[in-house]
A and B are shown apart, each in its own frame.
Chain A
Amino acid sequence: MNLKTLGTLAGALALSLTAGGASAQQQKLKIGFIYVGPVGDHGWSYQHDVGRQAIVKAFGDKVETTFVESVPEADSERAIEQLARTGHGLIFTTSFGFMEPTLKVARKYPNVKFEHATGYKRAPNLATYAARFHEGRYITGKIAARMSKTGTIGYVGAFPIPEVVAGINAYMLGAQSENPNIKMKIVYANTWFDPAKEGDAAKALLDQGVDVLAQHTDSPAPIQQAEARGRLGFGQASDMERFAPKAQLTAIIDDWSKYYVERTKAVLDGTWKSGDVWGGLDSGMVVMAPYKNMPDDVKKLAEDTEAAIRTGKLNPFKCPVVKQDGSTVECKGNGALSDEQVLGMNFYVKGIDDKLPQ
Chain B
Amino acid sequence: MTFFEAVLLTVITASTPLLIAALGELVTERSGVLNLGVEGMMAMGAACSFAAAVTFDSTLAGVLCGMLAGALMAALFALAVLGFAANQVGSGLALTIFGLGLSGLVGAPFVGSRRDPVAPLHIPGLSDLPVVGRILFSQDAFVYLSFALTVAIALFLVRSRAGLTLRSVGENHASAHALGLPVLKTRLAAILFGGACAGLAGAYLALVYTRFWSPGMTAGRGWIALALVVFAAWRPGWVLVGAYIFGAATVLQLHAQALQLGIPSQALSAVPYVATILALLLLSIRHGRAVGAPGSLGLPFVPDR
User: Are the CB atoms of B10 and A204 closer together than 8 Å?
Assistant: yes
Pair B212/A201 contact, Cβ less than 8 Å: no
Is residue B144 within 8 Å, beta carbon to beta carbon, of the partner chain?
no
Asked if B6 and A207 make an inter-chain contact with CB atoms under 8 angstroms apart, the answer reads yes
Q: Compute how far the CA of A197 lies from the CA of B220 in the bound complex, rounded to whole angstroms.
A: 11
Whether B219 lies near A185 (C-beta < 8 A) is no
| 0/1 interface trace, chain B 179-210, chain A, CB 8 Å (1 if under) | 00000000000000000000000000100011
Residue contact B265 to A188, C-beta cutoff 8 Å: yes
Residues of B within 8 A of A125 (CB): none
Q: Is the CB of B262 within 8 A of A355?
A: yes
* A204–B219 touching, CB < 8 Å: no
Complex partner residue of A208 from B209, B219, B220, B259, CB under 8 angstroms: B259
CB-based contact A40/B104 at 8 Å: yes
The one of A42, A185, A200, A242 in contact with B214, judged by C-beta atoms closer than 8 angstroms, is A42
**Interface: A44 (CB within 8 A):** no
A47 touches B (CB below 8 Å): no
Nearest-CB residue, chain A, relative to B2: A207
User: A187-B257, A204-B257, A208-B3 are known contacts. Are A195 and B262 too (CB-CB below 8 A)?
Assistant: no
Judged by a CB distance under 8 angstroms, whether B217 is at the interface is yes
**A220 at the binding interface (Cβ < 8 Å):** yes
For A37, list chain B residues within 8 Å (CB): 216
Does B131 make an interface contact (CB < 8 A)?
A: no
Do A200 and B210 have beta carbons less than 8 Å apart? no
Within the assembled complex, what's the spacing in Å between the Cα atoms of A220 and B210?
Answer: 9
> Chain B 262-279, CB within 8 Å of chain A: the 1/0 string?
101110010000000000
Min CB gap B202→A, angstroms: 11
Report B150-174 CB contacts with A as 1/0, cut-off 8 Å: 0000000000000000000000000
Chain B nearest CB from A253 CB (Å) reads 15
Per DSSP, chain B at the interface is helix
B266-A221 in contact (CB<8A): no
Query: Does A177 sit at the interface, judged by CB under 8 A?
Result: no
Contact bitstring A164-205, B, C-beta under 8 A = 1, else 0? 000000000000000000000111111101111101110111
Contact A160 B265 (CB under 8 A): yes
Question: B217 to chain A: which residues have CB within 8 Å?
Answer: 194-196, 219
Known: A201-B254, A204-B255. A42 touches B111 (CB 8 A): yes
**Contact partners of B13 in chain A: CB under 8 A:** 200
CB within 8 Å: A-B pair count? 121
Those of B223-278 within 8 Å (CB) of chain A: 250-251, 254-255, 257-260, 262, 264-266, 269
Chain B interface residue count, Cβ-Cβ cutoff 8 angstroms:
40
**A102 interfacial by beta-carbon distance below 8 Å:** no
Given contacts A42-B112, A188-B265, A200-B14, contact A219 B214 (CB under 8 A): yes
Given A196-B205, A196-B209, A204-B255; A190-B265 close (CB under 8 Å) = yes
Query: B121: CB under 8 A from chain A?
Result: no
Q: In the complex, A277 Cα to B178 Cα: how many Å?
A: 73
Known A204-B258, A207-B6; judge A195-B14 contact (CB<8 A).
Answer: no
Contact residue range for chain A?
35 or more
A354 at the interface (CB under 8 A from B): yes
Does A70 interact with chain B (Cβ within 8 Å)? yes
Is the CB–CB distance between A358 and B264 below 8 Å?
yes
Tell me, yes or no, whether A73 is within 8 Å of chain B by CB. no
**Cβ contact within 8 Å between A190 and B269:** yes
Q: How far is the CB of B225 from chain A (nearest CB, A)?
A: 13
A219 and B111 alpha carbons, distance in the complex (Å): 12
The reply to whether A190 and B266 contact each other, CB–CB distance below 8 Å, is yes
* Least distance between B187 CB and chain A CB atoms (Å): 31
Within 8 A of B (CB), among A224-265: 224, 228, 242-243
Q: Are the C-beta atoms of A205 and B211 separated by less than 8 Å?
A: no
Whole-angstrom distance between the alpha carbons of A37 and B209 in the complex? 20
Q: Residue B210 contacts which of A199, A242, A357 (CB distance < 8 angstroms)? A: A199
A–B pairs, 6, beta carbons within 8 Å: A38-B216, A185-B260, A194-B217, A195-B212, A197-B250, A204-B254
Known pairs A186-B258, A188-B265, A207-B255 / 12 extra A-B pairs, C-beta < 8 Å: A39-B111, A40-B214, A40-B215, A41-B215, A186-B257, A196-B205, A204-B254, A207-B3, A208-B255, A210-B258, A219-B214, A224-B114
